Amino acid sequence: MTKKKYSDEYGNQIRSRPSKPFYKKWLVWVIVILGVLFGAIGIYTLGSKEEAADYPFEKGEETVIENPELADSKEENAEEQAYTYEDFKGIYVIFSGEPYKTSIKDMSDIIVVEDDYYQRFNRWDFDMTSTIKDKKIEGNVLTLDLDSDENEMWGLHSESGTEQFELRHEGDKKILYSVTNDDSFYSMSNQDLQTHYTQSEIDYARIIMTIYGELTLDQWAMWEDEWGVPVVDVIYNSAGDPTEVSDEVPYPNDVTHLSLTNQGMAAGIITYSSHGDGTIVRYPMPLHYHQEDQSEEGYRQLAQESLDDAEAMYIEPFEPYTVADFIGRVEFLYE
């Protein structure tokens, strides 16, 4: 076999094949081409990001530039509520202290806003009722245009002929602020009674007033001057418990005793069983025992007669502000 001969670049014969220059090698060109390609891609990507930053509202972006004044306006609009006249209607009172914890103030501190009339009165029977001629609502402010009829005793029903109120809410309290007189009146409906007072307090107040009558402001003043804060002792007995008169005669039902014996005005004990439907059964248990037969059998007979003479009674609901005022003036002690 003839051995292959190689020559260098100058024509001289050499023993082995000469190496190619590096720029003629294919691997070098592959590396160069890939470097150029990736460099171009990198430059294009960086340019696209910079361009996108210059145009934040490009389709698909959710970039939001907030205007502080516009944001505040949106928050205010969200808080605004479209009030109607129905929102303002109702009975409102001024409390002598903490709302729904104290009594109602005495002088001209109850107002009633109804469809056709506006009324302001107090517990002394001072009453100013005006016909509503026109009404206007702007946001949470109500303006009433009232009649200017003159009453022979009290003069004009409304001194200005115009009453303006701002409706406010503080938690579960609904407030009608009188812009005209700078007074805050609190809503006093049956729903407000259920919200701010316990059902037992409401029941006790209604039962006592049904039996002893609704106290006037003069009577309240006399009571408080002589006895201080009126105290109502509340005592319970279960069905089967012996009566106070005789251990041998038990109560047929669960009963409640409302005792005012330590107070000078309506001294006595109300013993009753509630039906839960606005009626009670009252047991006329005697406060003092004056029967001729003072023996054990005599007491047993007296107790049984008291149970047999039980009387079913309807309990007056009374106006919500009357019930709230009673609860705010007394102290209930539970035994």
Tell me, yes or no, whether 205 and 105 share the same domain.
no
Would you say residue 271 has pLDDT above 50? yes
In a domain, 116, yes or no: yes
How confident is the model at residue 219, as a pLDDT? Answer: 79
In a domain, 77, yes or no: no
Tell me, yes or no, whether 11 and 27 share the same domain.
yes
Tell me, yes or no, whether 219 and 296 share the same domain.
yes
Mean of the per-residue pLDDT values of the chain: 79
Task: Please say whether the dihedral angle defined by the alpha carbons of residues 47, 53, 55 and 56, taken in this order, is positive or negative.
Answer: positive
Tell me, yes or no, whether 235 and 171 share the same domain.
no
Greater confidence (67 vs 187) lies with: 187
**Tokens found for residue 121:** 């009165």
* Token pair 């407000």: residue: 192
Tell me, yes or no, whether 317 and 300 share the same domain.
yes
Domain boundary among 143, 161, 194: 194
Domain boundary among 194, 225, 259: 194
Residue 21 DSSP class: P
In a domain, 229, yes or no: yes
In a domain, 142, yes or no: yes
In a domain, 76, yes or no: no
How confident is the model at residue 82, as a pLDDT? Answer: 87
pLDDT in tens, 295-327: 888 889 989 999 999 999 999 999 999 999 999
Domain boundary among 171, 194, 217: 194
Buried b (16+ CB within 10 A) or exposed e, 6-28: eeeeeeeeeeeeeeeeeeeeeee
In a domain, 73, yes or no: no
| Number of separate domains in the chain | 3
Domain interval for residue 15: 1-65
In a domain, 133, yes or no: yes
In a domain, 72, yes or no: no
**Tokens found for residue 239:** 């069905």
pLDDT in tens, 229-268: 888 999 999 999 999 889 999 999 999 999 886 655 446 7
CATH at 166: 2.40.128
In terms of C-beta density within 10 A (0-12 exposed, 13-18 middle, 19 or more buried), how is residue 308 classed?
exposed
Question: pTM of the prediction?
Answer: 0.72
Please list the helix, strand and coil fractions of the chain in percent, rounded to the nearest 5, in that order: 30, 30, 40
Tell me, yes or no, whether 201 and 190 share the same domain.
no
The C-alpha angle 331, 332, 335, rounded to 5 degrees, equals 140
Neighbours of 288 (CB within 10 A): 4
